[in-house]
């Protein structure tokens, strides 16, 4: 990124930072681009509408929010998630027997590849990708296993006007079978005896967030294979440029997990990447996915 675009990126980060006062929760940003810790609330207990509204506002303001030291059963996590949207099954994978809408995300001690271990937006190969995901830490390694998040509003806004014009109206083709992202899902499905199916969906390369009205870059290295009407070879150079750009360090934050912490991110304007640096240790997370709309 050249110095002029870098200056524009910094300026847009300042413009997009919305200082806001909250009455019921304590919101503490963790990075300049996105991410905030939420304190002063026990999400295992029933929450008033005013508290839920403030959490929702922090979610929209900071794109990903984090809660620490929360004592959540599977049912309590699902009940909390349901205050913000409609929980949905993760495609092609089984949930917990006692709570099917919660998907266990596990890396075992002997495994070398982690689940979804590339930059991606969740299940972009669905016609209606999820609007958000919640991940709760059950068992974590003694070190490593952080998750990175990237702000896709800033990724779009920092592009040159000329490139934004090129991307306007382009459609991305997203597939569940792109090798880097599909490996661990396919391994889990084979272990469970499930049938492997290829899922493909077409979405705008630039979407407009249905709640904030801001535009976000909506391609990802985990699922996007090409532009509609272009060959994969023709698409490759531009996609590679976008894949590298959209996870530039100045667009990111990094979350260090602790046991009983929870992350809640907006799938429409972020990407995430679980860092695979804890070989020999087990990591167990419980995930809830919230249904979304067709990207526009």
Catalytic residue annotation: 120, 122, 272, 287
Q: Which residues pair with 149 in a beta bridge?
A: 253, 272
Candidates 292, 286, 258, 260; CA nearest to 98 is 286
258, 277, 283 from 145: Cα distances, Å:
10, 6, 8
CA pair distance 153, 44, nearest whole angstrom? 31
CA pair distance 201, 172, nearest whole angstrom? 8
State residue 196 phi and psi, 5-degree precision. -85, 130
CA pair distance 48, 92, nearest whole angstrom? 35
149, 35 in Cβ contact below 8 A?
yes
Q: Helix or strand or coil: residue 172?
A: strand
Helix (H) or strand (E) holding 61: helix 49-62
């Amino acid at each position: 990124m050249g110095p002029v675009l870098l200056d524009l990126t910094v300026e847009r980060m300042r413009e997009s930072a919305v200082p806001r006062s909250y009455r019921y929760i304590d919101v503490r940003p963790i990075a300049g681009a996105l991410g905030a810790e939420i304190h002063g609330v026990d999400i295992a207990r029933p929450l008033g509408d005013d508290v839920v509204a403030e959490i929702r506002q922090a979610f929209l303001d900071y794109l990903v929010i984090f809660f620490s030291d929360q004592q959540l059963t599977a049912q309590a996590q699902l009940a909390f998630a349901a205050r913000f949207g409609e929980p949905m099954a993760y495609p092609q994978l089984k949930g917990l027997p006692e709570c099917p809408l919660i998907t266990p995300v596990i890396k075992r001690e002997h495994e070398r590849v982690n689940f979804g271990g590339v930059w991606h937006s969740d299940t972009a190969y669905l016609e209606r990708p999820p609007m958000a995901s919640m991940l709760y830490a059950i068992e974590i390694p003694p070190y490593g296993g952080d998750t990175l998040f990237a702000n896709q509003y800033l990724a779009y806004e920092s592009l040159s006007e000329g490139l934004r014009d090129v991307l306007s109206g382009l459609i991305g083709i997203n597939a569940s079978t792109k090798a880097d992202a599909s490996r661990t899902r396919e391994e889990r499905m084979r272990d469970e005896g499930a049938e492997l199916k290829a899922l493909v969906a077409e979405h705008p390369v630039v979407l407009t967030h249905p709640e904030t009205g801001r535009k976000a870059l909506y391609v990802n290295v985990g699922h996007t294979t090409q532009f509609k009407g272009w060959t994969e070879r023709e698409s490759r150079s531009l996609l590679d440029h976008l894949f590298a750009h959209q996870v530039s360090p100045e667009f990111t934050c990094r979350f260090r997990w602790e046991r009983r912490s929870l992350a809640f991110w907006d799938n429409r304007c972020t990407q995430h990447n679980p860092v695979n640096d804890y070989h020999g240790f087990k990591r167990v997370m419980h995930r809830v996915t919230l249904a979304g709309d067709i990207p526009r």
